[in-house]
Amino acid sequence: MCGIAGYINLDRSKQVSENLLKKMTDCISHRGPDGEGFYTKDNIAFGHRRLSIIDLSTGDQPMHDENGNIIIFNGEIYNYIELREELKKIGYKFKTNSDTEVILKAYTHWGYECQNKFNGMWAFAIWDQKKSELFLSRDRIGEKPLHYAVHNNTLIFGSEIKSLFAFGVPRNIRPELIEIYLTLTNIPAPHTFYKDIFKLMPGHFLRLKDSNIEEKKYWDLPAIDEKKMLTDEKSINENFSYLLGDAIKLRMRSDVPFGAFLSGGLDSSSVVALMSEISDRPINTFTIGFEHKAFDESKLAKEVADKFKTIHHLGTVAPDDFKEILKKNSFHYDEPFGDSSAIPTGYVSRFASKKVKMVLTGDGGDEVLSGYTSYQGIKLSNAINKFPGFITKSIPIINDSIAPAFKGGIRYKLNKVSSIIKSAGQNFPERMAEKMAYTDFQTIKQLTRDIKDVIPVEDHLKEVMKGCSYKDDFYKLMFLNFKHDLPNDYLVKVDRMSMAYSLEARVPFLDHRLIEYMAKVDKNIKMQGWERKSVLRNTIGKNLPDSILNAPKKGFGIPLREWFKSDLFDDQLKNNLDKISEITSKPLVSEILKQNKLGEKDNGNFIWTLMMLNENLT
């Protein structure tokens, strides 16, 4: 796991600067504190920061091969041992035991097709000396980031946007993306919050040849026949168990101490269960607890740790040093990022990094298994739409009329019921926009109405869904989870917060073999009746404590709504929303704070989303 940065002057007569390259890598030193390396020649500059996980003695980068090709690489190729043996049989010789050298040899032998041979997470750059060609690649799902820009006749790229700023790319923001951000809590690829800076899309590669830049797709979700989905439950359970077990086994390859994040949820508990079967020593597990019981799953995590005899570590999140948290998140995300679960992810990453250098996580389980409550919501919407129209129209009216009589938990639930019923009659993109937003749609529209040329979030989601051939809303949601939510939100969250503390996070549920197989499984096998993650429950879940199987679904949430009610936060909230108030309705921002403080609406997460935007406005 590492950080990469580099640039190529399109004018070949223009020499590169190692001092400038070092500035680009110094600002991402947190991604690789174990070493640095540079290659500068003529118009080419490759820089690398190393976090040593595999082949500690001979895996330094940039790495060269006998053909003069050069690579810098961030990530892990988990099947590198098998690929190395395959290439050895063909006749290739290896000088190191690293996965980096395997990538170089694989590229030499298979060309661009090498990407489809890799099982892993990656962002890499290869300079092909003979072809005078740059090859940038990003993994299938988008676990590892890669940004690029063309500025002053130079192609600049890096793991994080801050490397491009260090080069001198201007920090010109794009206010037209604010409605999309406030709804989705992120800036989706290929966009960034800055003009002329882009994210390489997951499953894509970029080729630079003779000043021509071309981006191509090399991987996609499989095409499915919705009338012929996999329905043999016994076979599905067997294949799923094998694929997840093998994915975990591959991801436990490491030359340094490692462990696992354990939230107390079904996915991370299953990962820990399988790790404990494979390992010949106790697994280190890391859990973060909360003082607010509604958000705390530490007792459930402890039950799993006790059952599988892990070496368990528990930390607690408290609302201290909030200003420092805000600054740190703003620094590491480089652009507005409003998913508040980044806060506990940062805490558990910092906590774990004191003991290990690598962890496995349960991320991706909800996508692979179609396990979000929103899948239940699709079933519920289909059922609601069968009711007579006067019923579906009258319930929200009655609900909204009695809600003001309550505050706190009851009020929040009444608001939720109204939202579900109102959204049931919307088309898929509109319903998803409502579902994703931390507040009601009307509030977001009011906040952004004075921003010039603002892009409606519905238009963005319609554009995303143009690439979807699936017809059933259940499978459409699966597409959206993989194409949008994972690469733009959840994986960004984990990558930036784990790497902020020089910790590598590996995600076995996102093994591409598992994704491709489970995408073809019938929805009624994935969700039997109203039961989420039926496949996992009927396999690995049988070995978990009953309390894990019976626990309600919880995200990796944080009690922001309660924290922001405290008088301690009054001044901080006002000071950290000053720039927002200049471009939006100041009275509306004040009303959002007031509603949360009085318990009329749960605006905690949305206030955090506003604060992260505020930090990035210049």
Whole-number Å distance between alpha carbons of 308 and 310: 6
Report whether 260 contacts 361 (CB < 8 A). Answer: yes
Neighbours of 31 (CB within 10 A): 28
Question: How many DSSP H helices and E strands does the chain contain?
Answer: 28, 17
Whole-number Å distance between alpha carbons of 382 and 71: 51
Tokens of 123: 């962002």
Q: Supply the Cα-derived Rg of the chain in whole angstroms.
A: 24
What's the helix, strand, coil split of the chain in %, to 5? Answer: 50, 15, 35
The three state secondary structure string of 492-531 is HHHHHHHHHCCCEEECHHHCHHHHHHHCCECHHHHCECCE
Neighbours of 297 (CB within 10 A): 22
The yes-or-no answer on residue 2 being catalytic is yes
| Run of H or E including 597 | helix 586-597
Residue 474 backbone dihedrals phi, psi, to 5 degrees: -60, -45
| Run of H or E including 182 | helix 178-184
Q: With H, G, I as helix, E, B as strand and everything else as coil, classify residue 155.
A: strand
Catalytic residue from among 2, 27, 114, 468: 2
Tokens of 338: 């409003």
Nearest CA to 199 out of 257, 239, 159, 254 is that of 159
Whole-number Å distance between alpha carbons of 434 and 392: 17
Catalytic residues: 2
